[in-house]
Chains A and B, each alone.
Chain A
């Protein structure tokens, strides 16, 4: 794949603020039409990475190509062709929704006749048509965020950076925003770069995810691939109808490794080497020995577990 086919390509991208290294030698490639998530805790370097990619900051060293253009030499052109939803909505409370969107349309160089067309189209998508002449300051947080996303899209950008798109939103508003992003991604074939600390959001929205902490990329891959990294961490949980103290001995005699036991919940957690092969005989043995099973299920490592594990490992071990 040639570099121009990538929406984003970085080589050892680094940013220092005085003695603080905010982004450390990041190597990333993001394909066009991909929804890419940058997942990390607060202060991990997500916003700085977005600002570097959108040509707002100059790297200390390393380089980034965005839509085939150098982020330093062609920063203005990059900003013209990309949209950035900043962490705060960046909309003007004293102006109406229409005035806000018209202003952003103009500074992004959209033709006057297209601005009003785009506003109508976007407000229809965001279900804000009735509030077009309302002052932005009178809108709810969720509505403001929708207007902010609309202003990010007013010039029909090829690549959209979203910095914490649902942080500070109530769960129902966050869901609306997430659904909107998914619909837009499906319908428009645009590339999305989403910085978030919300694991659930990353998992349901993103094709691929990179985990970042203290400026270092710890892992990159599809959420499924990241889970595969910790395949060995899958546990089998058996819940019984009534608790029998002998079950513990029974399992140990049969060489099953118990990793957790919650008597009050009548639950036992064991680790199987091969789930596919070992689960049926285990159930059979338990039934044969009159242990009344209510359910058996496997707890696979969640993205959250992988994320926490990697971040903790990096924070304690220190990559740098």
Chain B
């Protein structure tokens, strides 16, 4: 693996898609918009609800689950408890970012190369199949991770600003948002790009790749959801197990993508 070549390919892709207004706006504004929207539309309306209108029985079923991860849970008022539960609930929507961004970028950089008839220049170059696959992963990985970090920070800060006067301390950063941002999201980004590479071999237009890709990566989102839910059960084993499964899936899909992105196969599909 020649990393200078991999980086050259990734750098070219980044330069290229940042010049596409649609992709650029998706990368920059979608994380900001989604995180702010979730905080403002999901949590802010509840902040102004009078304390006596909150009935603790409404969320009694998950009360014990959240109590596992939030210290001093039993000392919070019913309203504070409701706000904390909602803040965690809305965080799941922010978890869509490491699925959406890589899917859009991978469609643009892989199927887009086919659509714009530039793929043959790549295939004719000395880049190996592995270098092409890794180059495409890197070009989608960086904005996805940056987007996820930005979204997590914006969401965490917004929630803390809204909840601090009520709960008297900062809810975020907590282990869940750190686990999501720095462990789950990087691995799922890689898996999404690998899936998109496989899809791209069958697709000839970026629009088709978006549509099919959005369906195929949904199970990945489900896995992120399950992984985050397992956090509430304080099952360290489940978290480690889930992370290992994600890593193994990323390795498995890499091998699959590398094989599917066979030079001859890719070339014949271009003809």
Contact = CB atoms under 8 A, between A and B. Distances in A.
B229 interface: no
B251 interface: no
B124 A91 contact: no
Given A88-B117, A91-B121, A92-B118, A107 B16 contact: no
Interface residues of A, number: 28
Contacts of A93: 116
A213 B263 CA distance: 26
B264 A57 contact: yes
Interface string B118-141: 111111111110000000000000
Given A56-B123, A107-B126, A109-B126, A17 B9 contact: no
Contacts of A77: 126
Nearest to A151: B121
A92 B126 CA distance: 18
Contact of B127 (A51, A58, A99, A107): A107
A56 B264 CA distance: 6
B146 to A, nearest CB: 21
Interface string A272-289: 000000000000000000
A44 to B, nearest CB: 14
Contacts of B268: 17
B20 A76 contact: no
Interface string B1-40: 0101100110110011001100000000000000000000
Contact of A86 (B2, B8, B120, B126): B120
Interface string B239-255: 00000000000000000
Given A57-B264, A94-B16, A103-B8, A108 B125 contact: yes
Contact of A94 (B5, B20, B117, B124): B20
Interface in A162-205: none
B159 to A, nearest CB: 38
A90 B12 CA distance: 13
Contacts of B124: 54, 56, 79, 84, 86, 90
A57 B267 contact: yes
Nearest to B132: A107
Given A56-B263, A86-B121, A106 B16 contact: no
A95 B126 contact: no
Contact of A51 (B5, B19, B121, B267): B267
Contacts of A86: 120-121, 124
Contact of B264 (A58, A88, A90, A107): A58
A240 interface: no
Given A57-B267, A76-B128, A90-B117, A107 B8 contact: yes
Given A56-B263, A90-B120, A151-B121, A80 B4 contact: no
Contacts of B15: 94-95, 99
A91 B126 contact: no
A57 B117 CA distance: 18
A246 to B, nearest CB: 61
Contacts of B127: 107
Most buried by A among B8, B118, B121: B121
Most buried by A among B9, B16, B120, B126: B126
A95 B17 CA distance: 10
A104 B121 CA distance: 9
B120 A106 contact: no
Contacts of B116: 92-93
B15 to A, nearest CB: 6
A76 B8 CA distance: 17
Interface of A: 17, 51, 54, 56-58, 76-77, 79-80, 84, 86-88, 90-95, 99, 103-104, 106-109, 151
Given A79-B125, A106-B8, 9 more contacts: A17-B268, A56-B124, A56-B264, A58-B264, A77-B126, A79-B126, A91-B118, A99-B15, A107-B126
27 contacts: A56-B124, A56-B263, A57-B264, A58-B264, A76-B128, A77-B126, A79-B125, A79-B126, A88-B117, A88-B120, A90-B117, A90-B124, A93-B116, A94-B16, A94-B19, A95-B12, A95-B15, A95-B19, A99-B12, A104-B125, A106-B8, A107-B5, A107-B9, A107-B126, A108-B126, A109-B4, A109-B126
- Closest 7 interchain pairs by CB? A90-B121, A106-B8, A94-B19, A88-B117, A103-B12, A84-B124, A80-B126
